[in-house]
Chain A
Amino acid sequence: MSDTAMAKKAASDIAASEIVETVPSALIVLDRNLNITSANRAFYQTFRTSAEETEGCHIYALGNRQWDIPALRTLLESVIPHRASVEGFEVEHVFPTIGRRTMLVNARKIFRPGDHDGSILLAIEDVSEERAARADSKRAWQLTQSIVDTIRDPLVVLEHDMTIVTASRAFLTMFGITEAETRGRRVAELGQHQWDVPALRHLMEKVLPENKPIESFEIEDDFPGLGRRVFNLNARKISQPGNHTHRMLLVFEDITDRKQRERDAQKLTNEISHRIKNNLQIVVGLIAYEAKWTAAPCVQGYTAMQARIAAIAQLYDLISQSSRGGTILVDAYLKEIARNMSASLLGNSSGIRIEVEAEALDIDPDRAVPFGLLVNELATNAVKHAFPQGQGRVVLRVARVDDAMELTVADDGVGIQEKDPAKIPETRGSDYVAIFVRQLGGTVVATPQEGTGTIIKIRLPLILASPNDVDRVAA
């Protein structure tokens, strides 16, 4: 070898050794007898040994024979002699010094000029943490899957692109499909495209980017093998700690039976309401028949009786339509009473108007009847006595005052000649007012009469909290 060639080789050896020292993988070089000729710093650090203990030592004898591993023997004695290189050979072993380790070994035969026997370069990468993490992830996934499978409601987990990652056993059973048929497909593509609903798609697209869950989206359709079904869909974003990818959990709640029970109950309520109102119509008809043959002064009494019956009848519609657990919105109830009174007492051409100004307060059905009759009585009396000229305005007002509900019936008519304001309601006609006020546990508020007209105020216990309060409690 010339001086120049020797200098080049020396420079090349230095560069190679520098590279070897900086490579993060543990490297060792073995001679043909499997004695270690050299190792790098990463090897010494990973396996807690030194150059003195290592170099010249037989690989199997190294570190109290901890490298005498059957898998490594297979690699070195059976694989390497027949192949120039081996990559990704996995060796798992419990080392006395560093515990259980999983290593990926790459082996390559290297020959230097003049060295016909050659050496073996082993690059050993410690993949223990990666493998442990993968095993943890697999266990976590199996746990998740087993939990998912025990949930009775069918559910699917969706990727960001809305394709299915996994479907629960309940989902597969209910819709008669296999896991392979669901994975990677969109929910909208399943079955006969029953879930391909634009409104649902629109909501689903917002779950992940806007973290906006879907609550109770109802779909009713015919499903093969299931018949007509109603499903409630709920979806929300799910995240794994330390993982930036998000997925969507979509749960299908079969509410067919519940829906049917609701429909049956609604049908029954309507049926009962229909029968009651038909029977009340008969009562109103009987009164009309009696009124026909009665002297004119008595007709007013019959007409008032018909209005009272109508006030009770209107409750059935409001109760059957109530979505607030059977309670009734006072506002809606008063408007019905006003509308009915206008039609039955006043007619189209009357100059008397009945108006409603009510806060959003609820009333329970048990007290709604005396409440409605009380309003009816006061308003009827106002219509009867306040407007001899046939012109005027009656206002039915309900407001929350402290912890009470205050009913006001005010008119701009001729007023009443009564010195004691507390006695005004009694002066204004029937005993019924006192009876209904007592029944409702209320009191008449003495209201000084100013200007023209009459104002009657009745303070009633706040039967139920206002809808806003109910919402707050529920929240």
Chain B
Amino acid sequence: MAVILIVEDDAFIRVIAEMMIEDWGYETLSASDVDEAMTLLRSSQKIDGLFTDIYLKAAVLGGCELAQQAIKLRPLLRVLYTTGNFVNDKMKSLFVEGTECLVKPYTQNQLKVSVEHMLAA
């Protein structure tokens, strides 16, 4: 079963996302910032998809930078972004090619559709 790394600085939102994603039979790993996520990405841990918030603690575009670094380490990694901000062109230009962004607040159905879409990409 696919393993999804969830990167979200808000603990409650992260736990709920883990709960939703695990309900559909996926395995989850989680991190609250770029450094924690990179530690996991550098390890030998199997990770199929990265579901990351964009605004991570003080890093306004932390999720974008994380995905760029992650894809260099693991070129086959799938990426899905989420944000509470308006997705402007500057943000889009930093997205890994062919990826999508799920805007908050998202429901479990929206997250399910987006995760399936990410893994199928």
**Which A residues are closer than 8 A to B by beta carbons?**
270, 273-278, 280-286, 288-289, 291-292, 303, 306-307, 309-310, 313, 317, 320-321, 340, 343-345, 347-348
Contact = CB atoms under 8 A, between A and B. Distances in A.
A275 B84 contact: yes
Contact of B109 (A270, A282, A303): A303
A285 B109 contact: no
Interface in B102-121: 103-110, 112-113, 116-117
B24 to A, nearest CB: 12
B104 A285 contact: no
Contacts of B116: 348
Given A278-B13, A285-B12, A344 B84 contact: no
Interface stretch (B15-23, B28-36, B41-49, B66-74): B15-23
B86 A270 contact: yes
A285 B6 CA distance: 15
Contact of B85 (A270, A280, A291, A309): A270
Contacts, number: 80
Given A281-B104, A284-B107, A307-B107, A273 B84 contact: yes
Secondary structure at chain A's binding surface: helix, strand, loop or mixed? helix
B109 A310 contact: no
B41 to A, nearest CB: 24
A354 to B, nearest CB: 14
Contacts of B109: 303, 343-345, 347
Given A292-B19, A310-B107, A344-B109, 7 more contacts: A276-B84, A289-B16, A303-B107, A317-B86, A343-B110, A347-B112, A348-B113
Most buried by B among A278, A306, A321, A340: A278
Interface of B: 10, 12-13, 16-17, 19-20, 23, 55, 83-86, 103-110, 112-113, 116-117
A292 B84 contact: no
Nearest to A346: B109
A289 B13 CA distance: 11
B15 to A, nearest CB: 8
B10 A278 contact: yes
A285 B16 contact: yes
A284 B10 contact: no
A309 B105 contact: yes
A320 B103 CA distance: 15
A362 B106 CA distance: 26
A348 to B, nearest CB: 5
Given A343-B110, A348-B117, A281 B86 contact: no
A257 to B, nearest CB: 23
A317 B87 CA distance: 9
B20 to A, nearest CB: 6
Given A289-B19, A292-B23, A284 B106 contact: yes
